[in-house]
Amino acid sequence: MNELLLFLLPVGAALLFLLLGWSWEQGRQRPQKKAAGLVSIIIPAYNSSATIGQTLQSAANSAYHNKEIIVVNDTPDSTRQLCRKYGAIYLENKQRLGKANALNQAAKQARGSVLVFLDADTVIHKDAIGMLAAWFADGSVAAVQPRYGVHNSGLLPSLLAVEDRLNQSFFKTSMFFGTMLGFRGCCIAVSRSAFERLGGWSDTIIEDIDFCAKAVRNGYKVLYEPHAYAETAEPATFSAMVRQKVRWGKGAWHVFRNHYRLYLTRPQFLIYMSAYIFVLIALVVAITWHLWMVLPALALGTMAHIAMLSRNGGQKRSMLLVPVYAAAFLPVISVCYLRGILGAIMDRRKGRPELDLDSW
């Protein structure tokens, strides 16, 4: 009986999340008017000359014609020539400012009423800009997240693609409650008026999640637009992935510490954390009551939970990776996040700065 209940717990949660996400998709009203105002596409660069060319090409080829492209570079390299090729405005910082400060500097030079922030390893579909910009006719909307996939190949990026689809399933479920509590900054459209009112990007590790929390706390909505599409690059090596997840764990601790009242009063937070909560339950049950025999049941339930929620947009071949992700990869990622959280706590106790660019 215990085994059955522990299997049904994550499966039932997945069914509930899917139902809420489906209900949102069926009932949502898309913008009636197409956007027409100037959109500023802002691309931060740091040692990005190998990838930024395809990013610039995708931005230049966007079907939305009333746009400007701005690249802000923290390193002198061949990016200037690529900007000239694609008609982008080029800004170069005399010293490394970090992503948040570089984006804030570029936003001051931008003329658009909508700002689209696009990472230098991300490409955007030709129709995405118009779909995102149309939402800002509603003044209560601060930001809009497109659907995103992974464009680099390999086992590790494919496993991370499972995580990406899982997160975006949570985006849909969160939208049932009116707004998301987090977005991924690889491609995000932001209202200029909201951006300025909220003070732009904070000088923090995960400035995208922090901005989202600030927006919701100030009465704005942050939306998900699954019909707009972008593709980003995930870490291709294990060491790069570990560094990313540890860094995100550190950033998550700082953001939670600053906005915990928001998170603890919103159901979206539990939705985002569900898979990690099930892993934690399994460990607590096994260690506290020595019920190791229930671990397979909860593991299978968690696997089903992830498979059900990450099915959208996933090919059959990538779905075969779900057991690997649930059984091996998710625990590794959880350890990386935990390491980052503990590192952030220790850094704070020792008076170290939150953002250390030399460690990136």
Give the CATH number, domain containing residue 38.
Answer: 3.90.550.10
The pLDDT score that the predictor gives to residue 96 is: 83
In a domain, 283, yes or no: yes
| Structure confidence by residue, pLDDT tens digits, 153-177 | 899 999 999 889 888 988 999 999 9
The pLDDT score that the predictor gives to residue 74 is: 86
Reply yes or no on whether the pLDDT at 294 is more than 60.
Answer: no
The pLDDT score that the predictor gives to residue 313 is: 52
| Structure confidence by residue, pLDDT tens digits, 245-289 | 999 999 999 999 999 999 999 999 988 887 677 767 766 766 666
In a domain, 249, yes or no: no
| Residue written as token pair 């075969």 | 320
Percent of the chain with pLDDT over 90: 59
**How big is the CA angle at 16 (ends 293 and 222), to the nearest 5 degrees?**
120
Residues 206 and 301 in one domain: no
What pTM was computed for the model?
0.90
Of the listed ranges 1-5, 76-80, 204-208, the least confidently predicted one is: 1-5
**How big is the CA angle at 146 (ends 266 and 270), to the nearest 5 degrees?**
20
Residues 109 and 183 in one domain: yes
- Work out the pLDDT band at 325, boundaries 50, 70, 90: confident
Helix, strand, coil percent values for the chain (each to nearest 5): 55, 15, 30
Residues 158 and 281 in one domain: no
The pLDDT score that the predictor gives to residue 311 is: 65
Of the listed ranges 52-61, 116-125, 168-177, 347-356, the least confidently predicted one is: 347-356
| Structure confidence by residue, pLDDT tens digits, 82-98 | 999 999 999 998 888 88
29 vs 142, residue with greater confidence: 142
Residues 206 and 92 in one domain: yes
**What rounded mean pLDDT belongs to the chain?**
87
| Structure confidence by residue, pLDDT tens digits, 175-207 | 999 999 999 999 999 999 999 999 999 999 999
Residues 295 and 275 in one domain: yes
In a domain, 137, yes or no: yes
Q: What range does the domain containing 62 cover?
A: 28-236
| Structure confidence by residue, pLDDT tens digits, 115-141 | 999 999 999 999 999 999 999 999 999
In a domain, 228, yes or no: yes
Mean pLDDT of 306-332: 71
7 vs 353, residue with greater confidence: 353
Residues 277 and 169 in one domain: no
Domain boundary among 236, 251, 274: 236
In a domain, 134, yes or no: yes
| Residue written as token pair 């099930």 | 278
CA 36: distance to chain centroid? 27
Q: Pairing state of beta strands 114-118 and 187-191? A: antiparallel
The pLDDT score that the predictor gives to residue 322 is: 80
Percent of the chain with pLDDT over 70: 84
In a domain, 258, yes or no: no
In a domain, 252, yes or no: no
The pLDDT score that the predictor gives to residue 296 is: 62
Question: Helices 238-264 and 155-175 meet at what angle, rounded to 10?
Answer: 10
- Work out the pLDDT band at 354, boundaries 50, 70, 90: confident
**Cβ-contact 112, 37 below 8 angstroms:** yes
Mean pLDDT of 5-18: 74
The structural domain count of the chain equals 2
Residues 165 and 267 in one domain: no
The pLDDT score that the predictor gives to residue 76 is: 82
